[in-house]
Structure 1
Amino acid sequence: MSKPFPKEFREDVVRVARGREPGVTLERIASDFGVHPITLSKWIRQADIDDGVKPGTSRSDSAELRAANRRIRLLEQENEVLRRAAAYLSQANLPKRLYPLVKELAADGVPVAVTCRVLTLARQPYYRWLAHPVTPAEALRQDRVTALTRAHREDPEFGYRLLADEAREFGFPMADRTAWRLCSDAGIMSAVQRRRRGKGTKPGPPVHDDHVQRVFAADAPNRLWLTDITEHWTGQGKLYLCAVKDVFSNRIVGYSISDRMKSRLVVDAIQSAVARRGDVAGCIIHSDRGSQFRSRKVLTVLAHHGLVGSMGRVGAAGDNAAMESFFSLLQNVLNRRAWATRDELLWIERTYHRRRRQLGLGRLTPVEYETIMKPPAALAA
């Protein structure tokens, strides 16, 4: 294909043709400049249009029209990329890899540069992938890492075992050891809360014997409860939470929150648990030797509902380790955002009770475990 004549050359030829002497034909001028007479006629006609002598589309209008057409075509391509990407990513069982989508769009006429710009992808890695596509094993590994990352983003306090459970729910089964290796390589770590050291005060004498002896097991609901108090800093000061946990299913059956760590905090938590569980006579409720648990109000509530008190030893955190582990997990959740109301405790019902699977429960949630293990008569009640 021959190159177009320069603009200056066309203007010179048209100027000579317009100012030609009488008797000089356009064919002669065209022959002198080495162009075809029809081409020269087109140049003169376009020059008349540009000068406003004749009606028609000027060169500037044509350039603007071509630019507008290019912008329209580019917008259509961008819309097609967004439409195809939305449809591609909405498929639940399809691995979320965008490079195959870029390749499909390129085959349909959408430039790679446009697709990568809309999807915020770098073109160089795409071309490397195109030259050396990933193997099925590498693709499966990336899909598993994506599933683990997604589960970690939803619940940062989940460990690798629970993340593996969530990935299985997403359709990417893997062994716990594989999940640990992938999480380690990808830098996916559970939120870790450093425990604060105690104040060093000496607790008073126990008012109950230790009926648990670190055996945190129960063969039925409402046989063994654990309770303790934790604190959390907020913008308005400290808030205190007292929770009651049923060892049978690890379910939090009652809790209370207050800005003061008084015996009323424990009383409200026990009353909440009794109201939810009903007849709890004979149930052992185990705690540490905090003054709140040794108060007269708490002893009165225990006696009123037929609960059996139990207390661990001084300075032995393992005597109530099952409850301490729950509070450690809860603090990891609370530290992710400000906590000033009861709204944050919705995590207990929404995630801990209904989504967090536990190894001690056979990888079931507390609600699932109680539903399966409770006798029909208890469920009917």
Structure 2
Amino acid sequence: MERRKFTREFKLEAVKLIKERGVSFAQASRDLDVHQTVLRNWVRDFGSDPASAFPGHGQMKPEQLELARLRKEVAKLKAERDILKKGRGLLCEGLPVRFAFIAKHRDIWPVSWICGALGVSRSGFHAWLTRAPSARARSDEEIGARVRASHVTRFRTYGARPVWHDLLAEGYRCGLHRIERLMRAQGLRARPRRRGLPKDTGERSVIADNVLDRQFTAGGPNQKWVADFTYIWTAEGWLYVAAVIDLFSRRVVGWSMQAEMTAQLVTDALIMAIWRRGKPDALLHHSDQGSQYTSEQFQRLMADNDVACSMSRSGNCWDNAAMESFFSSLKTERTARKVYRARDEAKADVFDYIECFYNPIRRHSTIGYRSPIDFEREAGVA
């Protein structure tokens, strides 16, 4: 069979089809009826020296031959430099990692050049390419998937050791170092500890007993409200978020967000709740013993609206568990994995969570997996 011949113009157009128009080698091979290997050689020759590529069948002068040889050598040296630069650290890795790098970049550089730069043989690479995955590789793939599932379902807070115990509990037999390797390969890292929270240096005074006594249910609206505030970090500093929840429907009826941890923060949240729900009758308001809630400003507001006061015991977060649960949901479902550049950005996100998701949409197990607004609507609350 006579070997087919192609003009320089044909070769240049074929190269442009692949490099400039983004046609794959496989598609170009079918369209032009030219083997993929031939097309790869043309692209390689054009990439090494576009000006002198495809010179034709004429004899070259000795100086032209030497110049062509030097150009090819320079192109190879540049490619080896780029290969080692892109594959920094691969020489310290095992053969499978180096072979994977070659398979990924063989459309950019000739396989022989990459193999030479990484110190592996072409025959070894081609054997690896066609060889079925080993039992160890298949096991790594299976365990790696379980490692990722454990890490993600734990909200990316787990490091290697807790993930390892998760897998041991599922019946997998593997070592801690293997888990570390598989997490490192997938870029999985435990979420770093949160920065230290700001301290409330205000004085505490016991001005009310724990009247609520962990009775976190109410027979109707505006009978029991719980309140507290939390902290959200932004690039501008802390944002303080205060909220008031009606225990009847678990609806957030009042909230306030400010840059300062003052009595005005919690006062504004209660004012919003009263404004939204109307002046309450026989309402119990429960909070902790923070200086903001024991302040004269806040206590005067409650007295003016005939609101009874209840407070948790000192250092006992379970006495206000319903409020702690809401803030936990807010951070887990919205703010924990975000980085806010400004307080206004965080305010907008918290507002969206409360008013556009938590109150109207989010299903709550305590009220039969209905949203707070739907629960109130079904109960006939205006």
TM-score, with structure 1 as normaliser: 0.50
For 2:195 and 2:14, locate their aligned partners in 1 and report how far apart those are by CA, in whole Å. Answer: 65
For 2:312 and 2:305, locate their aligned partners in 1 and report how far apart those are by CA, in whole Å. Answer: 21
- Give the CA deviation at 1:285: 1.0
Give the letter aligned to residue 315 of structure 1.
G
Secondary structure of the structure 1 residue equivalent to 2:357? helix
Aligned to 1:351: 357
Query: Quick check: 1:276 aligned with 2:276?
Result: yes
- Give the CA deviation at 1:157: 9.2
Secondary structure of the structure 2 residue equivalent to 1:213? coil
Residues 334 and 354 (structure 1), Cα distance of their counterparts in 2 relative to 1, 3 Å cut = farther
Query: Quick check: 1:228 aligned with 2:234?
Result: no
Give the letter aligned to residue 368 of structure 1.
S
Aligned to 2:326: 326
Residues 157 and 320 (structure 1), Cα distance of their counterparts in 2 relative to 1, 3 Å cut = farther
Residues 287 and 2 (structure 1), Cα distance of their counterparts in 2 relative to 1, 3 Å cut = same
Aligned to 1:64: 12
For 1:71 and 1:64, locate their aligned partners in 2 and report how far apart those are by CA, in whole Å. Answer: 10
- Give the CA deviation at 1:76: 7.8
Query: Quick check: 1:368 aligned with 2:316?
Result: no
Query: Quick check: 1:308 aligned with 2:311?
Result: no
Whichever of the two has the greater Rg, that structure is 1
Secondary structure of the structure 2 residue equivalent to 1:303? helix
Mean Cα displacement is larger for which, 312-321 or 368-377?
A: 368-377
Contact 2:202 2:290 (8 Å CA) reproduced: no
Give the letter aligned to residue 349 of structure 1.
E
Give the letter aligned to residue 264 of structure 1.
Q
Residues 210 and 75 (structure 1), Cα distance of their counterparts in 2 relative to 1, 3 Å cut = same
Aligned to 1:108: none
For 2:273 and 2:226, locate their aligned partners in 1 and report how far apart those are by CA, in whole Å. Answer: 11
Per-residue CA distance 1:195-237 (angstroms, 9 max, x = gap): 859668762122x332211121123222211111223444444
Contact 1:249 1:361 (8 Å CA) reproduced: yes
Contact 1:193 1:331 (8 Å CA) reproduced: no
For 1:215 and 1:125, locate their aligned partners in 2 and report how far apart those are by CA, in whole Å. Answer: 66
Contact 1:220 1:374 (8 Å CA) reproduced: no
Residues 126 and 225 (structure 1), Cα distance of their counterparts in 2 relative to 1, 3 Å cut = farther
Residues 66 and 356 (structure 1), Cα distance of their counterparts in 2 relative to 1, 3 Å cut = same
Aligned to 1:203: 204
Aligned to 2:259: 259
For 2:23 and 2:215, locate their aligned partners in 1 and report how far apart those are by CA, in whole Å. Answer: 68
Per-residue CA distance 1:149-192 (angstroms, 9 max, x = gap): 7x99xxx699xxxxxxxxxxxxxxxxxxxxx98xxx99899998
Contact 2:289 2:314 (8 Å CA) reproduced: yes
Residues 75 and 374 (structure 1), Cα distance of their counterparts in 2 relative to 1, 3 Å cut = same
- Give the CA deviation at 1:194: 8.3
Query: Quick check: 1:336 aligned with 2:284?
Result: no
Secondary structure of the structure 2 residue equivalent to 1:292? helix
1:126-141 to 2 correspondences below 5 Å? none
Secondary structure of the structure 2 residue equivalent to 1:238? strand
- Give the CA deviation at 1:324: 2.2
For 1:355 and 1:192, locate their aligned partners in 2 and report how far apart those are by CA, in whole Å. Answer: 31
- Give the CA deviation at 1:295: 2.2
For 2:217 and 2:196, locate their aligned partners in 1 and report how far apart those are by CA, in whole Å. Answer: 25
Residues 349 and 63 (structure 1), Cα distance of their counterparts in 2 relative to 1, 3 Å cut = same
1:68-147 to 2 correspondences below 5 Å? 68=16, 75=23
Structure 2, gaps ≥5 residues long: 28-102, 108-126, 134-140, 158-168, 171-178
Identity among equivalent positions (%) equals 28
Contact 2:217 2:248 (8 Å CA) reproduced: yes
For 1:368 and 1:223, locate their aligned partners in 2 and report how far apart those are by CA, in whole Å. Answer: 19
Secondary structure of the structure 1 residue equivalent to 2:371? helix
- What is the count of residue pairs matched by the alignment? 258
TM-score, with structure 2 as normaliser: 0.50
- Give the CA deviation at 1:272: 0.6
- Give the CA deviation at 1:320: 1.3
Alpha-carbon RMSD across the aligned residues, in angstroms, is 5.1
Residues 128 and 191 (structure 1), Cα distance of their counterparts in 2 relative to 1, 3 Å cut = farther
Residues 129 and 228 (structure 1), Cα distance of their counterparts in 2 relative to 1, 3 Å cut = farther
Structure 1, gaps ≥5 residues long: 5-45, 47-57, 80-112, 118-123, 131-137, 159-179
Aligned to 1:290: 290
Residues 3 and 258 (structure 1), Cα distance of their counterparts in 2 relative to 1, 3 Å cut = closer
Per-residue CA distance 1:287-338 (angstroms, 9 max, x = gap): 1112221223222222333322111212222111221232344345156212
